[in-house]
Chain A
Amino acid sequence: EAGVVQSPRYKIIEKKQPVAFWCNPISGHNTLYWYRQNLGQGPELLIRYENEEAVDDSQLPKDRFSAERLKGVDSTLKIQPAELGDSAVYLCASSPGVSPLHFGNGTRLTVT
């Protein structure tokens, strides 16, 4: 089966600019996650979707981050405006239930 696909792999932007990340989960996986992984740290959950519904967005900084999962398949995570501290790897994962998670290769964001 095809894995979780994320794009772009790398993104470099200046602070205060907007940025968007895209994720295509594994076909049939109803649950989709966005995680942020800072250097030397484990992934931290930003938002979890069950189909098109965001069921846990308690850790999403809503003043600048937004996400959507239209039609319950692909998802987009947006940051506007980006700050220096947003530099990290943004991971998308999907699962048929709660576990196990299948991760994409991530998008490495550098904010300068």
Chain B
Amino acid sequence: GDSVTQMEGPVTLSEEAFLTINCTYTATGYPSLFWYVQYPGEGLQLLLKATKADDKGSNKGFEATYRKETTSFHLEKGSVQVSDSAVYFCALSRDDKIIFGKGTRLHILP
């Protein structure tokens, strides 16, 4: 069945460092791909999305490109801030089903 695999955390970086959180997926057909973020004590919020191959989603300085050939949707940010500390979830949507990865906790040190 469909699945999403994310790199395990926690990931700890210093402020202004470059961030990559890896995400790969397994799905038949052409799913839509998402990154959600969960700040402490809050629900998940949509961060960005891509609906077809080679699309790039972007928001708040984060980017991810839908790579069909490598079935990947890696999250990147050029310069992280302390306020980016949160848990990040990669997800796919296909046939009215949305499947989440296990999440990657990110700690940014000042």
Contact = CB atoms under 8 A, between A and B. Distances in A.
B8 to A, nearest CB: 10
Given A98-B96, A100-B34, A42 B42 contact: no
B96 A100 contact: no
A9 to B, nearest CB: 9
Given A43-B44, A105-B41, A100 B49 contact: yes
B75 to A, nearest CB: 14
B43 A103 contact: yes
A104 interface: yes
Interface residues of B, number: 21
A103 B41 CA distance: 12
A74 to B, nearest CB: 17
B103 A101 contact: no
B98 A42 contact: no
Given A42-B100, A99-B49, A105 B34 contact: no
Interface in A84-106: 91, 93, 98-106
Contacts of B101: 42
A14 interface: no
B43, B49, B91, B101 pick with most chain A CB within 10 angstroms: B43
Given A42-B102, A99-B34, A4 B43 contact: yes
Given A91-B43, A102-B46, A105-B43, 19 more contacts: A4-B43, A40-B103, A41-B103, A42-B89, A42-B100, A43-B89, A43-B100, A44-B100, A45-B97, A56-B97, A91-B44, A93-B44, A99-B49, A99-B98, A100-B49, A101-B98, A103-B43, A103-B45, A106-B43
